[in-house]
Amino acid sequence: AVHVRGKLERAGVGLGRAAGASATEGAPTRRDALSAALRAIAAWEAELTQYGDARLAEVPGIVAYRQSPVDRRARAGVLSFNLRGRDPLDVARALERAGIEAAVGNNGAVRTMTRLAGDFGRIALRLSLAHYNTKADLDAAIECLLAA
């Protein structure tokens, strides 16, 4: 990563460092704190995604669009799916009535969704996870899908 130091930092003002600490004291920098926070967010989102995958698999008739479970590469906190025998728009409305925000559409992947979700009008539902979501949020979505 390239870091361009500003005039005040070069002058020893210590922008981005803990209050009252200088760079020579070994105090963590603002960048260190932000990096730690981003690592914590990534870890939480990965945990939520894994939890969501497991819970989604409990739903009868689920058709999940994701990388293979044996593929251990990191993946985005996105759960894309359809329910056999259910119109994706009806499922989206049920989630909305339950206060759960879900996107429905081709998610910008027209050719891929044509291939994967042709039986569902070439669209899918998507739950997007973020650092502020909880396992309880996913549980509520799954309960809604089980009732759909």
CB contact at 8 A, 34 and 27: no
Tell me the mean pLDDT in the region 16-33: 67
pTM: 0.77
Q: Give the span between the Cα atoms of 104 and 125, in whole angstroms.
A: 4
SS3 113: helix
> Is the pLDDT higher at 19 or at 140?
140
CB contact at 8 A, 76 and 98: no
CB contact at 8 A, 114 and 65: no
> Is the pLDDT higher at 52 or at 24?
52
Tell me the mean pLDDT in the region 41-66: 95
89: Cβ contacts below 8 Å, ≥ 6 apart: 104
Strand partners, 79: 127
- pLDDT tens column, 73-122: 888 899 999 999 999 999 999 999 999 999 999 988 999 999 999 999 99
Residue written as token pair 């003002």? 13
For residue 146, the tally of other CB atoms under 10 A from its CB is: 11
